[in-house]
Amino acid sequence: MKINEIFYSLQGEGHWTGTPAVFIRFSGCNLHCGFCDTEHNSGRELSVDEIISEASKYPTQHIIFTGGEPTLQLTRSLVDRLHQLGKYLHIETNGTLPLPDRLDETIDWITVSPKDAPIKIQRIDELKVIFHGAGQNMASFDALPVTHADCRYLQPCDVNNPDTNVRIIADTIDYIKQHPQWRLSLQTHKLLGIR
Ligand code: SF4
């Protein structure tokens, strides 16, 4: 598997904010979002054993597969071996590909951050929608079934422009107050200056 990086930090966004976790970032993505803020293309080929050895150096049981797009490479053997070690397995995905090899039946938590493409993943435990401002069409996101009713998150898009970010954050808060099925997700790792 081509892995961009493996690191230990706190989950910065959504339902698991503040949770210590090992992040396994897979290289490559099937989409090309203009606002993508992750360098995920580079990486090194690692075996299942090498990934497990790296991810097991840290005291947490929470493992987050992220990317890029982890469904492109995730395998049954990596998932089963990590489960045998007692790990809690969480995937962050754009949801546009189904999980291979019936992994949806065994992965513990699926966070879907939809982009401008149809959703094909089998299950959504947490929905995290990037909000770009007032007027965004939310109908398709409202229609998505989410396992946990209180896990529909709106996250203000960081466009790297302080004035525009202030407007997007205000629009996000406004939208949530008008549509209380949504909750606010902030990129707290950026606010704290951690990874
Ligand atoms: S789906 Fe995510 S990782 Fe892939 S290009 Fe879009 S923002 Fe980047």
Confidence grade of residue 5 (pLDDT, cut at 50, 70, 90):
very high
Ligand 1 lining (C-beta closer than 6 Å): 29, 31-33, 36, 38, 40, 67-69, 94, 115
Residue 51 in this model has a pLDDT that exceeds 90: yes
> Half-sphere exposure of 178 toward its Cβ, with a 13 Å CA cutoff?
8
Lookup result for tokens 């407007």: 167
Rounded-to-integer distance, Cα 171 and Cα 134, Å:
6
Within 10 angstroms of residue 93's Cβ, the number of other Cβ atoms is 25
Q: Compute the average pLDDT of residues 161-187.
A: 97
More confident residue, 168 or 34: 168
Q: Compute the average pLDDT of residues 25-35.
A: 93
Residue 7 in this model has a pLDDT that exceeds 90: yes
More confident residue, 172 or 39: 172
The fraction of the chain above a pLDDT of 70, given in percent, is: 100
Please say if 157 is a catalytic residue: no
User: Which one from 17, 19, 33, 60 is the annotated catalytic residue?
Assistant: 33
Task: Mean pLDDT check: name the lowest of 35-39, 77-81, 87-91.
Answer: 35-39
* Per-residue model confidence (pLDDT) at position 195: 86
Q: Measured from the CA of 30, which atom of ligand 1 is nearest?
A: 4
Residue 37 in this model has a pLDDT that exceeds 90: no
* Per-residue model confidence (pLDDT) at position 12: 97
* Per-residue model confidence (pLDDT) at position 34: 85
